[in-house]
Amino acid sequence: MRILITGGAGFLGSHLCERLLKEGHEVICLDNFFTGRKKNVVHLLKNPDFELVRHDVTNPFHFEVDQIYNLACPASPPHYQHNPIKTTKTSFLGAMHSLGLAKRVGARVFQASTSEVYGDPEVHPQPETYKGCVNPIGIRSCYDEGKRVAETLFFDYHRQHGTEIRVVRIFNTYGPNMLPDDGRVVSNFIVQALQGKDLTIYGDGTQTRSFCYVDDLIEGFVRLMNHPTLQGPVNIGNPGEFTMLQLAEMVLKKVGGPSKITFHPLPGDDPKQRRPDITLASKELGWQPQVTLEQGLEPTIEYFRKLVKG
């Protein structure tokens, strides 16, 4: 197939490009390089089935393709809060232009949504039926509400135009190709430990997250995209739940060095807990995460070790 990936040079997009090329597809990688990096995909340029296009999804795009993965959007708080208006526009217009293209060429289109649509959840773990507890005017709203309206648009295109859609809700994911300064907790802790700095915990460290290794997530993407009928939304994430303190201690144990743990005030609207209910993914896609946090931290630390040394 001929497949378009918006945000294809980003953390998740670059792994998806590799996976789809290995399966023998033609891949068009679209990225404006705000948080994506050319070096994530430069090794793919020698593959005749790979094409890299610099483009911002807030502007329309036109390709003849069979499938579209819409992954374009900054996903870490420092990056999406850097220009919140642009973040909202990227979520909405990126979805609209992906759907418009899918409608025109008859492609199936995939939306990378997020567990942030659940906000600071009052239901735990979070099933897809939970409608969320989101602040529409907070400092994280540009991302949370941007992704929520993108889901709205996807299902309205499906109902109104019969567009073939797939919607995934991504829970915290980590692995190689993350940006060292992206502000997400796994990369923060690893880079701080490798540099011998103290690890920064916001709040008292009891808030929890569930961490999915990137290879497991991409497997879930591909299974959902190629499912004959399931539209979603589908939670994809690892239900293993860890406090920030547990994660920090695990990273310190693996990296070693003089770093200690320090505590700082919690940012606004930061969720206290987050864990996916993956019953639907397990039942309909036969998907379960295979990589434990302990296992996945090893290649992630090695990736960052090379970056920090370089």
Distances (CA, A) of 121 to 11, 117, 147: 26, 9, 16
Residue 213 among the catalytic residues:
no
> Does residue 201 carry a pLDDT above 80?
yes
The H-assigned helical ranges of the chain are: 11-22, 77-82, 84-105, 141-161, 185-194, 214-225, 244-255, 279-285, 293-309
Residue 266: pLDDT band (50, 70, 90) is confident
3-state DSSP call for residue 59? coil
> Does residue 268 carry a pLDDT above 70?
no
- Give the mean pLDDT of 25-41: 96
State the Cα–Cα distance between residues 189 and 253, nearest whole angstrom.
Answer: 12
For residue range 137-176, list pLDDT tens digits in order: 999 999 999 999 999 999 999 999 999 999 999 999 999 9
* Structure-token pair, residue 46: 């020698």
- State residue 76's pLDDT score: 75
For residue range 88-139, list pLDDT tens digits in order: 999 999 999 999 999 999 999 999 999 999 998 899 999 999 998 999 999 9
Query: Among residues 80, 118, 143, 213, which one is catalytic?
Result: 143
Q: Name the DSSP class of 83.
A: S
How many Å from the N-terminal Cα to the C-terminal Cα in the chain?
37
Residue 80: pLDDT band (50, 70, 90) is confident
Averaged pLDDT of the chain: 94
State the Cα–Cα distance between residues 255 and 174, nearest whole angstrom.
Answer: 16
Amino acid 7 reads G
Q: Are 63 and 28 in contact (CB under 8 A)?
A: yes
What DSSP string runs through 46-58? TSTTEEEEE--TT
Q: Counting Cβ atoms within 10 Å, is residue 59 exposed (0-12), middle (13-18) or buried (19+)?
A: exposed
3-state DSSP call for residue 229? coil
Dihedral through CA 281, CA 21, CA 153, CA 81, nearest 10? 90
Size of the chain in residues: 310
For residue range 270-303, list pLDDT tens digits in order: 677 889 999 999 999 999 999 999 999 999 999 9
Q: Are 4 and 60 in contact (CB under 8 A)?
A: no
> Does residue 310 carry a pLDDT above 70?
no
For residue range 6-22, list pLDDT tens digits in order: 999 999 999 999 999 99
251-271 burial, b for 16+ CB within 10 Å, e for fewer? Answer: bbeebeeebebeeeeeeebeb
Which residues are CB-neighbours of 246 under 8 A, at least 6 positions away? Answer: none
- Give the mean pLDDT of 233-245: 96
- State residue 308's pLDDT score: 85
Percentage above 90 pLDDT, the chain: 86
Residue 75: pLDDT band (50, 70, 90) is confident
Window from 45-54, 82-91, 245-254, 266-275 with minimum mean pLDDT: 266-275
What domains sit in the chain, N to C, each tagged with a CATH number?
2-177+211-239 (3.40.50.720)
State the Cα–Cα distance between residues 236 and 224, nearest whole angstrom.
Answer: 10
Residue 269: pLDDT band (50, 70, 90) is low
Residue 249: pLDDT band (50, 70, 90) is very high
Tokens 């642009």 belong to residue: 86
Distances (CA, A) of 214 to 78, 107, 174, 199: 21, 25, 6, 23
Of 57, 65, 50, give the one whose Cα is nearest residue 14.
50
> Does residue 267 carry a pLDDT above 80?
no
